[in-house]
A and B are shown apart, each in its own frame.
Chain A
Amino acid sequence: MRVNVTVNGEQRQADDVWEGESLLFLLRERLGLPGSKNACEQGECGSCTVYMDNVPVCACLVAAGQAQDRDVRTVEGLADGDALDPVQEAFVEAGAVQCGFCTPGLVVAAHDLLDRVPSPSDPEIREALAGNLCRCTGYEKILDAVRLAASRR
C-alpha cells in the first residue's frame, strides 16, 4: 500500500508498505528517520515516542496505515536548525544522556509534558515519564534535565 503522511512539516510518501508494518518501521526504514528508537516494539519502553497530531504515541503500536494523512513530529523535528530545543539542551547539560537509546522518546515525552504543564512538580514529572524506560541513568539526571528545561522555558 501507499502511505502519505506529514512528517516534521514535510509531506512524505512511502510505497509498498506491508499491512503489518508499524509507523515506527515506516519512519525508521522507509523515510530515513531512525531517531525514534526500537527498544521493545511492543509498547512497553517509550523509546519510539512521537507526536501524532500533537499527541504523544508509541510509534511501534501505530500501524503505518493509520498514519495516513496525519501529522507526525519526531525527535528529529524538535530542534530549530542548529539550535536545540530547550529540552534537548537540558538533557545534554544535565548528563541525562548515557547510551542515549531512551533519549529520543524521553525528550519527546518531556517536551509534551512541559507544553502541558510548564512548571511540573516532581511527582508530575515522574508520572509523565513513567512509560519511558531508561537502563543507564537511574533517572536522577533525567529529572534534573526536565527541571532545568522547565526553569528555562
Chain B
Amino acid sequence: MTLTPAELTSAVSGGIGTSPQRPDGNLKVRGEFAYASDLWHEDMIWGATLRSPHPYARITSVDITEALKVPGVYAVLTHSDVPGRNLYGLEHKDQPVLAVDVVRYQGEPIALVGADHPETALRAMKKIVVTYDVLDPVVDMETAVDDTPLHPGGNLVRHVPIRRGSQDVTADVVVTGRYEVGMQDQAFLGPESGLAVPAEDGSVDLYIATQWLHVDRDQIAAALGLPQEQVRLTLSGVGGAFGGREDLSMQVHACLLALYTGKPVKMVYNREESFYGHVHRHPAVLYYEHGADHTGKLVYVRTKMYLDGGAYASSTPAVVANAATLGVGPYEVDNVTVDAYGVYTNNPPCGAMRGFGAVQAGFAYESQMDKLAEALGMSPVDVRVRNAMTEGSVMPTGQVVDSAAPVAQLLKLVQDKPLPAGTSTDIRELPGGVSNTTHGEGVVRGVGYAVGIKNICFSEGYDDYSTARVRVSMVSGSLAAAVHTAACEVGQGLVTIMQQIVRTELGIERVTVLPMDTTIGNGGSTSASRQTYVTGGAVKAACAAVRSRLDGRTDIGDEVIDETVEWRHRATEALDPETGQGNAHVQYGFAAHRAVVDVDVELGLVRVVSLDCAQDVGRALNPQAVMGQIQGGSAQGLGLAVMEEIQTSGGKVRNPSFTDYLIPTVLDMPPMSIDVLELADPHAPYGIRGVGEPPTISSTPAIVAAIRAATGLALTRVPVRPEHLTGT
C-alpha cells in the first residue's frame, strides 16, 4: 500500500489543522520543565557581572585585588582575560564582551566574578574598584549624528531612503504630525540564564535560553578563540523571548568563567539586571506628511524617522529597514519619500522586539490615517478601506504583493463585530478598578481602529534557512519518528507544530522532538514570525525524503531511516541604497484591531473594554496556538499603548523593575473576539503566513485612536500616560 499525505491526515490524529496538546505541557504544569535558571550541576559555581553605573565614561583603572581575596571566590575576570575577539554583535561587531577603556551605556559589563554562592559573588563584585572619567552622554536620537562620535565610524548606524514616484507632487488635503514611541521592554518572565560546563579538552558545553543557537555559538567561539566545534550549545527551557534573546547576554561570560575555573558555572540575572542585560525596542521619533485628494485617496506619503539604537548596533540596521519599507502601512501610495535613520546614543542598546521596526512606524502612520479621516470628514475605516492594499498592490520598494492582502476585509470584520455594552456600573470594570476611583462619573468612551503590515522571515537577501532531521524506526511494533532541529522553542509551540507536520506527512502518530542543539545544522532565528514557515518547511521537506525511502512500508524491521534536509524560502533582494527599491521581503502579514476604551478624564486612567482582532494566517496549522499568538501579541501592543516604557534620563534607566515597569495584568486585558482568515499563500509551506508579530502592530494604534476618540486629545506619544490625559 502506498501512503500519501492526504490519506494520512485523516488516518492519524494530531496532524496539522488540529490543536493537540503541547509535548512539554505536562512538565510545565507540574513545575518539572527545566528552564535555564533551573539547571544544576554537581560542583557548580555562580557567576556575576559587574556593570557600569555610567552611561558614558572612560575607564581609568580596574582593581580586582580585594575581590580576589574574598573567600569562596574562584575567579575575577576582565577584558584582558577574553582570549579571542573581544567584540561581538548580530550585524556589526561593535560590542565588547567586557569593556576595555570606555563604557557606552549604563549596565555595560566590565568584570566577572565566579564564586561558590551568588551572595559571595555579589560581595566580591562590590570590592572591585573601577575609576571612571565620566563623560557627557549622547542621548538625543535626532541630533546624535552631529554629536560626539561614540564609535569610530560616527553615530549613524544606517540610513534607509526610499524614493518612489514623484517627490514633489501636491495634494488637496495635507496632514502632518510628529510622533514618539517610548522604549518598550520584552519583559519575558524567564530571566537570562545559562549553565556552562567545561570539558577536559578545553571545549565547553553551554545550556542556554536563547532564540538562535548557531549565531550564539559563532559569536561565543570567536570571543573564546575556539573553533566552533569546541563550543556546543543545547537549548534549555526558555521563559519567553520576544526578540530580547536574539543578542548575547551572559553566554560568553559563563563560558569564560567555566573555562577559566574548570568548574561548571551558572549565571542567572535578576529582574533588575535583566533590564540592563538585553536590548529593548527602539524608541523612535517619526515625522509624517500625508497628502490625499478629496475622495480620500492617498497621493503621497513623506516621512523622516529616527530610531534610537542606543550604545551598540545589535539589529538596528534591519529594524531601520523594516520601519522604512513598511513605513506607509498596508496602503497603496504611488509617491513615497522615506528617510529612516538608526543612530548610536548612550541610551540602552536596542534591537529586536516583536514587530521589529513595524511597530514604531505603525503607530505613526495609523495616527496619520485618523488625522486624515478627520480632515476629510470621513470615517477612520472608510479612509483606510479607500487606500487598502490588495494582492497585486505595489509596495514603496516596488515589490509587488503576490499573495493575499485582505486589508479591507480585515477592517470590515472588526468593524462589524458587536460593540460591548455601555460603560459598566461594576467598579471592577471601570478605569481604576477596585481602587474605587470612579463610579462612572467623568468616564467617557471611545472606539478606535487600526491595521498593520509586517514582513515575515528574514529580508534583504539574507540566506534564511533551517535544517531538519527526521528519523524513523520501529518502536514496539509500529513506526515511530523523531525530529531534530536547532530551531528554538521559546514558548510559541514550535515543538507541537513539528510533531503535527511529521504526523501529517508520514502518518506516524508517535513523534518525539529531540533536544535542540548545535549538533545539527542551523535552524535560524526564532524571530520574524519565521519558524513555522522555515523550520516547518524544513521538517516537511525532511519528511518527504523519509517518505520516499519508506515507500509505503509500515514495517521496516531493523532499518533506521534518517534524513536531514536544509530548506530555504525563496530568495529576497537587497534594497537599492539610493532609492530603496527591491524585492526585499518574502511575505507580508496583516492584522486589524478595533479597540473600545473607557477613560476617566479626571484621573487620566484608561480601561480597555474590548480589543477585537482579525488576522489572515494563511493556514492555521494549530488553531489554538494561533489564537494564543494573537492574544499575547495584542496584549503586548496594549502594554505599549498605555503603560510600558523604560524611562531614561541622561541615559540612565529609571525603572528597572516590575514595580516601576508595568506590563498588562489579567485586569488590564479585555476579552477579545478574534476572526482568523485562512487565505493560503501559494509560496509558503501549507500556505501558512507568519502569525506572531502582526497583532502587536495594530493593537497599539487602535487603542490610542480609541482614547483620542473618547477625549478629543491629539496624543502623539506612546505609551499614553495619565498626565497626557489630564494635562497636568
Contacts and interface: CB of A to CB of B under 8 A. Distances in A.
Interface of A: 18, 20, 28-29, 32-42, 44-45, 47, 74-76, 78-79, 84, 88-89, 91-93, 95, 97-104, 107, 123, 125-127, 129-143
Contacts of A132: 665-666
Contacts of A18: 117, 119
Interface in B168-226: 186-191
Determine which residue in B19, B25, B630 has the highest number of CB atoms from chain A within 10 A of its CB, and name it. Answer: B25
A39 B191 contact: yes
A130 B240 contact: no
Interface string B31-46: 1111101101000000
B189 A101 contact: yes
Interface size class of B (residues with CB under 8 A): 35 or more
B26 interface: yes
B623 to A, nearest CB: 9
Interface stretch (B154-162, B330-338, B656-664): B656-664
B658 A44 contact: yes
Contact of A142 (B32, B191, B270, B666): B666
A124 to B, nearest CB: 9
Contacts of B630: 138
B29 A98 contact: no
A123 B429 contact: yes
Contact of B38 (A34, A47, A95, A136): A34
A99 B238 contact: yes
B631 interface: yes
Determine which residue in B24, B434, B658 has the highest number of CB atoms from chain A within 10 A of its CB, and name it. Answer: B658
Given A135-B240, A141-B631, A99 B189 contact: yes
B271 A136 contact: no
Q: Which 8 pairs of residues, A with B, have the shortest CB-CB distance?
A: A35-B31, A99-B491, A101-B239, A100-B28, A138-B631, A138-B635, A75-B31, A34-B38
A42 B274 CA distance: 13
B119 A84 contact: no
Given A38-B191, A75-B30, A104-B29, 15 more contacts: A18-B119, A35-B31, A39-B190, A39-B191, A39-B239, A40-B658, A99-B188, A99-B190, A99-B238, A100-B239, A133-B658, A133-B663, A136-B491, A139-B635, A139-B666
Contact of B631 (A33, A79, A104, A140): A140
28 contacts: A28-B38, A32-B40, A34-B34, A35-B30, A36-B31, A37-B239, A39-B271, A45-B658, A75-B29, A84-B26, A91-B25, A91-B29, A93-B21, A97-B28, A98-B491, A99-B490, A100-B28, A104-B29, A123-B426, A123-B429, A126-B428, A132-B665, A133-B189, A133-B665, A135-B663, A140-B627, A140-B671, A142-B666
B1 interface: no
Contacts, number: 185
B657 A101 contact: no
Nearest to A108: B31
Contact of B632 (A36, A92, A98, A133): A98
Interface in B364-393: none
A129 B189 contact: no
Contacts of A75: 29-31
Contacts of A76: 30-32
A95 B627 contact: yes
B621 to A, nearest CB: 14
A88 B30 CA distance: 7
A135 B189 contact: yes
Which applies to chain B's interface (DSSP): helix, strand, loop or mixed? loop
Given A42-B271, A84-B29, A142-B666, A98 B119 contact: no
B492 interface: yes
B493 interface: yes
Contacts of B38: 28, 34
B663 A107 contact: no
Interface in B646-668: 657-659, 663-667
Contacts of A141: 624, 627-628, 631
A44 B491 CA distance: 21
B187 to A, nearest CB: 6
Contacts of B635: 137-139
Given A123-B426, A143-B666, A20 B189 contact: no
Given A39-B191, A137-B631, A107 B658 contact: no
B31 to A, nearest CB: 2
Given A98-B628, A138-B635, A42 B119 contact: no
Contacts of B672: 138, 140
A33 B21 CA distance: 25
B341 interface: no
Contacts of B631: 137-141
B306 interface: no
Interface in B1-59: 19, 21-22, 24-26, 28-35, 37-38, 40
B403 interface: no
Nearest to B238: A99
Contact of A104 (B31, B491, B624, B658): B31
A39 B188 CA distance: 9
B544 to A, nearest CB: 29
B37 A126 contact: no
A138 B669 CA distance: 7
B246 to A, nearest CB: 16
A74 B32 CA distance: 11
Contacts of B37: 34, 37-38
A75 B35 CA distance: 15
B30 A42 contact: no
B495 to A, nearest CB: 11
B189 A126 contact: no
Contacts of A33: 31
A35 B34 CA distance: 8
A113 B491 CA distance: 26
